[in-house]
Amino acid sequence: MQIFLFLALLIAFALVLFAIQNSALVPVHFLAFHFEGTLAFILVVVFASGVLTGILMAVPSFWRKSSALREQKRRVKQLEEVAAMNAASQAKGKERSA
């Protein structure tokens, strides 16, 4: 666990250094929008929008898998109940024949 904390601090330190070294203002033109900001800020915004896009693209797949897993768990529970009833009826049948 401590290794993850160390890595997080190392990455945060690297990001701070990156932001300090890339503080020049750059213009951004996108469609009708014109924006000027630091290079580090622009890169963070673009990276965050890419991560958000990736997450939104993955959500339907997660929902399908989650739904399939719930259905499989429900089916396993049904089969376990049937198996328990069969075992109980076989045990009663053996008691009667003995």
In a domain, 25, yes or no: yes
Domains in the chain, number: 1
Could you tell me if 93 and 85 are in contact, meaning their C-beta atoms sit under 8 angstroms apart? no
Tell me the per-residue pLDDT of 4-58, one tens digit each, with 9 for 90 and over: 888 889 988 888 888 888 888 899 888 998 989 888 888 888 889 999 999 999 9
Residue 43, domain extent: 2-72
CA distance 57 to 51: 10
Residue 65 has pLDDT above 90, yes or no: yes
* Amino acid 70: pLDDT: 95
What pTM value is reported for the model? 0.58
In a domain, 91, yes or no: no
In a domain, 62, yes or no: yes
In a domain, 93, yes or no: no
In a domain, 16, yes or no: yes
* Amino acid 21: pLDDT: 85
Could you tell me if 18 and 40 are in contact, meaning their C-beta atoms sit under 8 angstroms apart? yes
